[in-house]
Amino acid sequence: MRRPKRPMFLARAPYRRRRLRDAARLLPVLALFLLLLPLLWTPDSRVSLTSADVIYFFSVWLVLIGLAAVFAHGLRGGEGVDEEED
């Protein structure tokens, strides 16, 4: 007797949840890059914070908080559903 064929593609919900989980794992790497970026654009070797740098840091911080909230909201539902489908 033949086994039933498995679908070629994954279901949409588990696939999107996995990609969202991958994006959430990359968020600290993105945060590190964005927060160290002002050190790359300073022309001299001494580090001094200007008001533009402080505004940039707080803007990046707020954007990262917003992204983490979006990822947390998207990952909240259906924790163990996609492990059963594997």
Task: Give CA–CA dist 64/70, Å, rounded.
Answer: 10
pTM above 0.75, yes or no: no
Structure tokens belonging to residue 2: 């033949």
C-alpha–C-alpha distance, residues 76 and 28, integer Å: 19
pLDDT tens string, the chain, 86 residues long: the values are 677 777 667 777 888 888 899 999 999 999 999 998 887 777 766 667 788 888 999 999 999 999 999 999 888 876 555 454 44
